[in-house]
Structure formats: structure tokens, C-alpha cells
Structure 1
Amino acid sequence: MSCISDWEVVIAEQLTAGKAGEDLHEKRPPSIPLTVAPGASAVRAASITAQIRAGPCEVKDVSQRTPCPHSGDARAVRSLREAHDALLDAAALVDQAYGLPLLGSLAANFVHFISALNLMLAVKLRYQVISHGHADLLILISSCWALLHVICVLAVTGVSSAAAAETRQIPRLVHKALLPITDVGTSDAQLREQLQLFSQQVMHQRLCFTAWGFFTIDLTIVLSMVGAVTTYLVIYLQFSATH
């Protein structure tokens, strides 16, 4: 640090004497990036020497600020944009390949759940004449099958909904990253541009999985199934009561 202290004295002398910044540029060490305007006062010299002690990236005066290497951050954001685009392409291929099987799986689980529920109600309400010991066993087996179908539906819809929810967090994180950027220097401008492009990319490219295009697979499907099952139970009980 002794060489830096000696150079601070030289800076103060040059500024006080009003010498040109070009002469100072020729004499200063290359490791200290500093631009000095001619004719500055001694007070200005003291301020600059204090800024040198703070380090080249800590200069608060915009005219004397040395750009920090933020270009690496801009490249990192661009890499995230490319990774996000690749993941969406992969998700589109998965949706195209497994959309029809998922539609069949959800439909089969729903129908089997209705059948198991129908059997339980028939045995419990004694619409089917079965011995007491066999009736309890049949209700237990039907309950296990119904629970299995519910778990299958929740597994498919839960994973799809969780993946979509994670992608919805990206815009919030991107806008939080935009807040501390001051747009001072080329590197900050590049970083802000990449973050804004990333935000637009996420807004226009949303992740979702569909059942062969018929409906979006998420947890709202469970609510629709619950409503359909409730409607079926009401109709079934009313129809059974009239007979």
C-alpha cells in the first residue's frame, strides 16, 4: 500500500498545480485506473485520494467511476434464457408424446373411482343383497381401489401443477433482480437488457401440460372431478330412492 500512498501525493500535487490530465496519465501506474480533469482544486484532489482508498469499484462519483465487470452477469442471464427455452422445448415434446396416454389415464381413473364408489354405496345401502361378512370385505376392497385411483389422479395433476407454479416464480425473481441495477455503465445496461428479455420470454412462453389439448392438467381438474362425483351421487341417491 506504500506505492499507492505515494501516488496519492503525486495526484494531489498535479491537481493543485493545474497540470493536464494527459501528463498524469503517462506517469501513473497502469494498475490504478483514474481519469483526472485539468484545473481541479485541492479539495477535489483529497476527494479522489479518498476514493482510491475505497477501491476502483467503490467510487461514488459517476465521473470518476471505474466500470466493474458485470458483463459476466449478462452472459449468465443469457445462458439462463437459453436453458429456459430448451426446457420449454423438452416440455412441449413430453406434452405431445404423452398427452393422449395422460387423457386415457385420467379418464380411466375417474371411471374406476365412480365404479368403486357405486359399489360401496350399493353394498352399504343394501341395494345389493350380500352377506354381512362379505359386505364389509367388499366395502374395504372398494375403498382401497377408490383411494388408489385418487392417488393416481393427484400424482399426475400435482406434478404438472408444481412444474407450472415453479415457472410462474421466474418473473418475480427477474423483476427483483432488476431493482438494484442503476444503469450506470455499459455492463449494467447489458445486464438490464438481458433481464428484460428474459422477463418477456417467460411471459410469452408459459409451461403447461395438457391432456391431448382437451384441458390443462393441474389441480383444478381435481375440483372438477369432485363436482362431477358429487352431482353423480345426488342423482344416484335420488334415482335409487324412487325405486
Structure 2
Amino acid sequence: MAFKLWERFSQADNVFQALRPLTFISLLGLAPFRLNLNPRKEVQTSKFSFFAGIVHFLFFVLCFGISVMEGDSIIGYFFQTNITRFSDGTLRLTGILAMSTIFGFAMFKRQRLVSIIQNNIVVDEIFILQDILDAHIEQLSALELSPMHSVVNHRRYSHRLRNLISTPMKRYSVTSVIRLNPEYAIKQVSNIHNLLCDICQTIEEYFTYPLLGIIAISFLFILFDDFYILEAILNPKRLDVFEADEFFAFFLMQLIWYIVIIVLIVEGSSRTILHSSYTAAIVHKILNITDDPALRDRLFRLSLQLSHRKVLFTAAGLFRLDRTLIFTITGAATCYLIILIQFRFTHHMDDTSSNSTNHLHSIHLGD
């Protein structure tokens, strides 16, 4: 039962079906939309998800306030130092700002998110209706509709795909369109590219500040988790024998979790940017082999569009969301980790000298 349910949600032949798993997180208020199961395939805002987001945020604020009033923290359960108290305050402040940004955009900018999803559905319908590429069987178990379309399970959708391929209809594949009217084919590519750039721009406008908050809180957790683990390794007496397993298991898993979050954000945006750059190379290859003046003019227009409308994702314009961000975060975390370790050794040296001075003073008083 569970396997069939997972197979149902993990495989989709269009954008609308791929959105079904996202509707479950509407219970948290992070996906403030609902799928209208009608022939028009509309995505609409959800009042239930809006109120769920408010309740979830208020619950988070309540837990945050209780933890501040009682002075409790996870690291405080194991040991307390000046650095751990500083890290608790920093993580609390960054956490409340990040959660306010994420839920604020989810609740008050929800119409922008719905427009992003609706535009994705429009582009997907263009690929299906225009039939941009001929459907062809690549392997026995899979059928590829187009390079920009999903690969669907051939066994599950075989009856629908056979009907689609065998239906006598005018096909608009790349081969047939270019042979009959190449200018029209280039125009269609320009329109689709323009729509995709609009979607990417709207995505950046919606997610720019939430992603900044997520990356900031992830960086701080990675930095302080590294320091906690090093502190426990350098000073094993801070932990009891029974607490050591709990300590390392929790903070190692938390460290890995936030590393995975940053990698997923960076990899998704960098792969989108990389694949968008392939179009320019293909256009210039076609320019080198064609001599038709009208077609060259249309290709030059598309080339200008590609140069002026480049896909780029940033976090509030502060840094780019590409693979260089991983190197930047690694370098910054290493630098701040060294500073924290030096501060730790300086603090211990001050404590040692203070204890020695007090001991000598007590000896003189005894004499």
C-alpha cells in the first residue's frame, strides 16, 4: 500500500501531477495553494494553508519565548561556556528572523508563488500541445517526451502514449517544423525561452529573502556544530560516558542535515543556470551552418535575447546561488572556526593564570 502510494506520487507525466506531494506541506502553511481538479488544471490560493501558516508561526514564537525565559538550549544540556552562550543567542536571533521571513513570504506573497506554478503549467502545456519534439522510445522501460519534459514510466502510461502516438494528427516536431517553417520554429523557441526566463525571475523575487534566511541559519548551525564537536574532542571531560553517544549522534546528524540543505539549494540553482547556457551554444552552431537571411535574422534576435535574459539566482543580491557558494561557505566556516578555537584557548589560559594567581596569593597569606 505504502509502496504504491509512493510510486503514484513519485511519477508524473506533467507539472500538475508533480505538484501533488507539495499539497501535503500545506498543513504547515509553507505551500499556500491547492490544486483544483478540473479540466482547466488551475492552482489557487488556500485559506486553510494561510491559517495553518499563522498557527505554525505562532507556535514557533511560543516555543522560542519559553526557551528564552527558561534559558534552555540543546548544547546547555551537555555543557556551558561563554562561546556556547554566545552561539545560543546568535542562533535564536537568526532563527526568529529566518522563520519570520519564510512564513511572511509564504503567507503574504502566496499569490506570487501561485503565479510561478501556474506559469510552469502553461509552459508544460505548450510542450504537449505543440509537440515540440517527436515522442520516441529511448529504452524499453522509458519514453522521453522532450529534453525539458519528464521521463515517464512506459509500462504505466503505455496505453496513453500509444494512443497519443497513433492518433492521426498534425505533428509539430522539431524536424517537421524546421523543414516546413524554420522561422516559426525559432519563434516558438524564443517564446518558450522568454516564458522560462519570466518564471526564473519570479522565482528569484519570491525566494530571494527566504533563501537568504535559510542559508544564514544553516551556516551558523554548521559553524557552531563543528565547534561543539571539536570542543568535545579536545576536552573529553566535558561529557559523561553516557552523554557522549547522544552528543555526537545529535550534532553530527544536525551538521549533515544543514550541509545537505545548502547542497540541495546550490545544486538546483546551478544546474538550472548550466542547462540554460546550452541554448546559446546551440543557437550559434545553427548560425554557423545556415545561409538563409530571414532565418539568420531570427537567430540573431534569439541570440540577443539569450545575452540579455540570462538566468541568475541570488540571495537578496548579496551572493550567487551556484557552486562557488559551497567554497565560500567552507572558507568562511573554517576561518570563523579557527577564531573560535583561538578564543577558547585564550579563555582557558586566562582561567589558568587566574587560578594560579589565586593559589599563590593563598600561599602567601598562609605564610
TM norm structure 2: 0.44
1:100 corresponds to 2:209:
yes
Distance in 2 of aligned mates of 1:110 and 1:76? 46
1:201 corresponds to 2:310:
no
Deviation of the 1:162 alpha carbon = 0.7
Q: Deviations over 1:139-192 (max 9, x none)?
A: 1221111011000001001111111111111111111111221x2xxxx22111
Residue of structure 2 in register with 1:212 after alignment? 316
Deviation of the 1:109 alpha carbon = 0.8
Contact 2:223/2:337, CA 8 A, preserved across alignment: no
Residue of structure 2 in register with 1:152 after alignment? 261
- Structure 2: which amino acid aligns with 1:161? S
Structure-to-structure mapping, 1:175-194, within 5 angstroms = 175-181=284-290, 183=291, 188-194=292-298
Residue of structure 1 in register with 2:155 after alignment? none
Choose between structure 1 and 2 for higher RCO, CA contacts under 8 A separated by at least 6 residues: 1
Deviation of the 1:70 alpha carbon = 5.2
Deviation of the 1:102 alpha carbon = 0.7
Structure-to-structure mapping, 1:214-229, within 5 angstroms = 214-229=318-333
Distance in 2 of aligned mates of 1:171 and 1:234? 44
Contact 2:287/2:299, CA 8 A, preserved across alignment: yes
Q: 1:128 to 1:216 in 2, by over 3 A?
A: farther
Structure-to-structure mapping, 1:41-190, within 5 angstroms = 72-126=181-235, 129-181=238-290, 183=291, 188-190=292-294
Deviation of the 1:240 alpha carbon = 2.2
Q: 1:128 to 1:96 in 2, by over 3 A?
A: farther
Listed as ranges, the gaps of 5+ residues in structure 2 are: 1-177, 349-367
Residue of structure 2 in register with 1:24 after alignment? none
Residue of structure 2 in register with 1:241 after alignment? 345
Distance in 1 of aligned mates of 2:186 and 2:264? 33
Q: Deviations over 1:80-137 (max 9, x none)?
A: 0111111111111111111111111111111111221121112111176111232133
Deviation of the 1:74 alpha carbon = 1.1
Distance in 2 of aligned mates of 1:192 and 1:128? 74
CA RMSD of aligned residues (A): 1.7
Distance in 2 of aligned mates of 1:201 and 1:128? 63
- Structure 2: which amino acid aligns with 1:174? V
Deviation of the 1:209 alpha carbon = 1.1
Bigger Rg, which one: 1
Distance in 1 of aligned mates of 2:212 and 2:341? 29
Residue of structure 2 in register with 1:31 after alignment? none
Distance in 2 of aligned mates of 1:128 and 1:86? 60
Distance in 1 of aligned mates of 2:216 and 2:201? 22
Distance in 2 of aligned mates of 1:89 and 1:110? 30
Aligned residues with identical type, % of pairs = 26
Q: Deviations over 1:209-228 (max 9, x none)?
A: 11122222111111111011
- Structure 2: which amino acid aligns with 1:99? T
Distance in 2 of aligned mates of 1:119 and 1:241? 14
Contact 1:113/1:149, CA 8 A, preserved across alignment: yes
Distance in 2 of aligned mates of 1:82 and 1:192? 17
Contact 1:95/1:210, CA 8 A, preserved across alignment: yes
Distance in 2 of aligned mates of 1:164 and 1:240? 42
Q: Deviations over 1:23-49 (max 9, x none)?
A: xxxxxxxxxxxxxxxxxxxxxxxxxxx
SS at match of 2:218: helix
- Structure 1: which amino acid aligns with 2:320? T
Listed as ranges, the gaps of 5+ residues in structure 1 are: 1-68
**Whose strand fraction is larger, Structure 1's or Structure 2's?**
2
- Structure 2: which amino acid aligns with 1:100? Y
Distance in 1 of aligned mates of 2:219 and 2:263? 11
Deviation of the 1:205 alpha carbon = 1.0
